[in-house]
Amino acid sequence: GQQLNQSPQSMFIQEGEDVSMNCTSSSIFNTWLWYKQDPGEGPVLLIALYKAGELTSNGRLTAQFGITRKDSFLNISASIPSDVGIYFCAKMEYGNKLVFGAGTILRVKS
């Protein structure tokens, strides 16, 4: 089963609202990755985090690597219709094995 727990499973929000989603793991690790998948496409990397406590922004996106190294959150400010898609957290395990969470489905009402 999934080693990363993502929540919420889905969100249906009004355009302009802020969005927050998070990911937790039972084990610590050194890299958190956040990907977005548009309908019919493969996932694309949004943000990579490498240090506990690190806070990184990419436009309207902000992600943080938790101090305990077991969790991370992704925030989207002022959502727009093109934010719809599935957001995945991922971790890089030993041997460069990339493991994903189950994803958060985001829908935006305009």
Partner 1 sequence: DAGITQSPRHKVTETGTPVTLRCHQTENHRYMYWYRQDPGHGLRLIHYSYGVKDTDKGEVSDGYSVSRSKTEDFLLTLESATSSQTSVYFCAISAGPPNTEAFFGQGTRLTVV
Residues in the site for partner 1, rule: CB under 8 A?
1-2, 6, 9, 31, 33, 40-45, 48, 50, 88, 92, 95-103
Q: Annotate 83-95 with DSSP letters as a single string.
A: G-EEEEEEEEETT
- Which of 24, 77 has the CB closer to partner 1? 24
CB of 5 vs partner 1, minimal distance in Å: 11
- Which of 10, 18 has the CB closer to partner 1? 10
- Which of 14, 96 has the CB closer to partner 1? 96
CA Rg value for the chain = 13
CB-CB contact of 110 with 81 (8 Å): yes
CB atoms under 10 Å from CB of 93, counted, come to 14
CB of 76 vs partner 1, minimal distance in Å: 19
CB of 84 vs partner 1, minimal distance in Å: 16
CB of 31 vs partner 1, minimal distance in Å: 5
- Which of 12, 78 has the CB closer to partner 1? 12
Q: Annotate 13-64 with DSSP letters as a single string.
A: EETT--EEEEEEESS--S-EEEEEE-TTS--EEEEEE-STT-EEEETTEEEE
